[in-house]
Structure 1
Amino acid sequence: MRLIRVVAAAVVVPAAAAVLTGAVAQAEPVAVQSVVASGDDGNVPANTLDGDLGTRWSDEGDGVWIRYDLGSQVDLGSLSVAWHNGDQRRTTFAVQTSGNGSDWSTVVSRRASSGTTRQPETYDFADRGGRYLRIVGYGNTVNDWTSITEVGIFGADSGGGDCAYPADVLDLTAWKVTLPTGGDEDPDEITQPRLDTFAADPWFVATDACDGVRFRAAVNGVTTGGSSYPRSELREMNADGSDEAGWSATEGTHTMVIREAITATPNDKPDVVAGQIHDGDDDVSVFRLEGTRLYVTKGDTSDHKLVDDDYVLGTPFEAKFVVSGGSIKAYYNGVLQTTISASFPDGYFKAGAYTQANCDRSDPCADSNYGEVVIYDIDVTHS
């Protein structure tokens, strides 16, 4: 049984915790009434509120958390977090708020700390009311621990969030992006570390509310040599982003979960792919919208499994692939839809907007005619 520590103390978060980027300097610190954590190793939750960067809270595991009770409903807009050994490693985390301590809304989707400083890092988000704020940790680039030295919580700042780049919203460490721009059959591809500070409006940008990343590919966009259709799409890389990922469908378990919405389709041929399993040669299975009908495909069979016969553009949904033991299981909003036999040695995941139309099949041939997907969260695991 996990130890849950509760520390009750009416603590006003130290002003020093707000001194980092200046993005939320106008917001007032919020008083914390108590703090509770999923567990600790003797470095207790209260240490994150003592104004001392030499103390910390630590817990080990995937999904550990520390939760702050603000005493009553408060309009929130940002927080600052100082990470233990934050100049030596990157910690993956998410931030959630709740009005009752049970039902949680994600305000900072899963992402990574900078890995460059031990000082507090500020994370701005679209203003949201809540009594509780929770930081969920998923380990760091060295080990499975989440360790925090200081936390500051701040009120609403009348902003929609502070996210200059898609990597400020999603953890893109293990991805590259292919864009509908560049030379003929030679689209722009952005890899790490450049991807951490890259955006391309309107093709690959954070949403105004900083709650998602917009992927847009117009019918007149540049295509790859192997396709006649444009894309603004992530391609899975290895853990540090230095090389392309490739894994076997018959060894290990490989999972991708995307929380997303398809927000636009091209004229005449309103088809968009919003998530893929790919092998060395071609797509194996994808989530594909054709008009209002959302399918999971199987190879060249585009209508293999109908998962929604009346999809409304802009409706968020969860798409999930699990590849293990020579099979692919595809889930839609948590419900298993189909199981597909598969055997390939060099698989990888893709996510974003792969527009299934071009200037020969859709009019007008212009930037204003496009497919678009917003990704709110994406998680890939291998075991």
Structure 2
Amino acid sequence: MNTKFSKLYFTIAVLAAIIGSASVALSAVVSFSDATATSTSGSFVADNAIDKNKNTHWEADADGASITARFNSCQRVDDLVLNWYGTNKYTYSVKLSKDNGATWTTVVSKTSGKGNENKQNVDDQAANAIEIVGDNDSRLRIDELKINSLGSTNGCTSSGTSNLSTGESSGTSNSSTGESSGNAQNPADVLDLSKWKITLPISLNSPPNSNKATEIKQPQLKTYSNSEYFRLNAAKNGVLLKAIAGGARTSTNTAYARSELREMQGDGTESAAWNCKNIDRGMYLEQTLLHTTTKKPEATIAQIHDSKNDLMMVKYFGPSFANGSTDIGKLEARFNNDTTTKLLDSTYKIGDPMTIDIAVTSGGNVNVTYKNLRSGVTSSTGTVKLTGIIGSCYFKAGIYIQACSKTDIYGNTNTVCANKNLSANKYETDPYAYAEIEVRKITLR
């Protein structure tokens, strides 16, 4: 071989190797902030698909479901790897968004994957969120989702709760301690719970008592979590509260269970009690309704109570034939024991992040302001006067399902539920049928 060409060939080969190794070095694995799904089977939640643990998985409970994951920052997406659970064959599409899910671009259309690792190449493009959508005859199950990036970029906008172009998120630190959510170990590390207690749909009595739901107050609440009903999401920037149709309840007069925060005062051990008629108070929430029961898909997600009355409730109502995970329902603010109703959102889709601000002003007046961070829907109830106030008032937040099973998780008959005389398709047959909400920020003022 000619020496001159031999040297040239060698030089080209070396340069190719250097360039190749440089491109590999540029590739990085995208980190996620959170994940949500339109359908979840039992405890196989969406966060399992991004927790970097192949021993856990997300599993849909219906065909055609989707999972959405948001990035910590805007990235130049290069390719993605799906680790499927089991050996089933899945048909799916992939969408990317550079505005936190407000709009989507399909980058992989109706392709197939089967078990283990399934890699898909994607044209280099800016994104801060990804959606995997199952075909109508595919019930997705994902062990782990991994996305490779060529680096961060400024090509995104943030229309949700996070500044995804910089990776800075709002409402993900403990306002009382300033602790980063990335270091969080318990819900109180993400939410300021110093003025709250939690009620959970389980009984810690021995033997369990169906009418004795568990209460956790301060100082125990500061380090408390429950792996099923009150826990951090995988990204450690939000708190998941879950209630079940057959859960333990708060009294013999109540049909429904809850995972709900109740406002406290002082050192967190004394129940809050403020004058609804002569004080300015407020509560601000950033949260997402993730799942509902199917037979009676209703849930209360924010409240003002006095000693006797439901003075204000923000309530979700799902469609008649709900699947609990992809439904489009409505959100209402209901005042004075349901005598006044104000529509907040007529097309709320489960999984939509929202903000709710409840302002109480002197004279017993309340205004609820709402925003859907996906659709952009905004609304305000205007000033509504509270009537028939008895005693003092307090806020509540979390999930209080309005569905029940006649037999609870302890095998006891829920007589209040049975005596409601609902139609047969309004009772949940599974006592573990659930509703769940993710709370990312809660502020009292």
The residue number in structure 2 matching 1:341 is: 385
Task: Please point out which of 388, 399, 404 is paired with 1:358.
Answer: 404
- Supply the distance in 2 between the matched residues of 1:107 and 1:308 (Cα, whole angstroms): 23
Shift of 1:124: 5.1
- Is 2:335 the partner of 1:308? no
- Is 2:325 the partner of 1:324? no
Structure 1, residues 327-367: CA drift from partner, whole Å, max 9, x if none?
11111126422322125341000000001110044333232
- Is 2:294 the partner of 1:262? no
* Structure 2 counterpart of 1:359, one-letter code: S
* Structure 2 counterpart of 1:341, one-letter code: K
Task: Please point out which of 272, 278, 281 is paired with 2:305.
Answer: 278
- Supply the distance in 1 between the matched residues of 2:276 and 2:398 (Cα, whole angstroms): 22
Shift of 1:286: 0.8
Shift of 1:321: 1.0
- Is 2:218 the partner of 1:218? no
The residue number in structure 1 matching 2:413 is: none
The residue number in structure 2 matching 1:129 is: none
- The residue correspondences of 1:90-109 to structure 2 (distance < 5 A) are 99=165, 105-106=169-170, 108-109=172-173
Shift of 1:107: 6.6
- Is 2:242 the partner of 1:205? no
The residue number in structure 1 matching 2:4 is: none
TM-score (ref. length: structure 2) = 0.51
Shift of 1:109: 3.1
Change (3 A) 1:311 1:198: same
Shift of 1:204: 0.6
The residue number in structure 1 matching 2:439 is: 375
* Structure 2 counterpart of 1:173, one-letter code: S
Shift of 1:105: 2.8
- Supply the distance in 2 between the matched residues of 1:287 and 1:251 (Cα, whole angstroms): 23
- Supply the distance in 2 between the matched residues of 1:233 and 1:186 (Cα, whole angstroms): 14
**Greater share of residues in helix:** 2
The residue number in structure 2 matching 1:123 is: 180
Which runs of 5 or more structure 1 residues have no equivalent in the other structure?
1-71, 75-95, 115-121, 126-161
- Supply the distance in 2 between the matched residues of 1:111 and 1:219 (Cα, whole angstroms): 33
Structure 1, residues 17-44: CA drift from partner, whole Å, max 9, x if none?
xxxxxxxxxxxxxxxxxxxxxxxxxxxx
The residue number in structure 2 matching 1:236 is: 263
Q: How big is the alpha-carbon RMSD for the aligned residues of Structure 1 and Structure 2?
A: 2.6
Which runs of 5 or more structure 2 residues have no equivalent in the other structure?
1-150, 154-161, 204-208, 319-328, 372-377, 407-425
The residue number in structure 1 matching 2:280 is: 253
Shift of 1:276: 0.4
> Secondary structure, in 3 states, of the residue corresponding to 2:313?
strand
- The residue correspondences of 1:40-189 to structure 2 (distance < 5 A) are 99=165, 105-106=169-170, 108-113=172-177, 123=180, 125=182, 162-182=183-203, 183-189=209-215
- Supply the distance in 1 between the matched residues of 2:193 and 2:239 (Cα, whole angstroms): 11
Does the CA contact (< 8 Å) of 1:216 and 1:232 recur in 2? yes
- Supply the distance in 1 between the matched residues of 2:443 and 2:359 (Cα, whole angstroms): 12
* Structure 2 counterpart of 1:350, one-letter code: K
Name which one, 1 or 2, has greater alpha-carbon Rg.
2
Change (3 A) 1:107 1:257: closer
% identity of equivalent residues: 29
> Secondary structure, in 3 states, of the residue corresponding to 2:349?
coil
Task: Please point out which of 208, 218, 234 is paired with 1:192.
Answer: 218
Change (3 A) 1:179 1:302: farther
Change (3 A) 1:356 1:302: farther
Change (3 A) 1:319 1:97: closer
Change (3 A) 1:107 1:244: closer
Change (3 A) 1:348 1:112: same
- Supply the distance in 2 between the matched residues of 1:302 and 1:351 (Cα, whole angstroms): 21
The residue number in structure 1 matching 2:331 is: 294
Shift of 1:97: 6.3
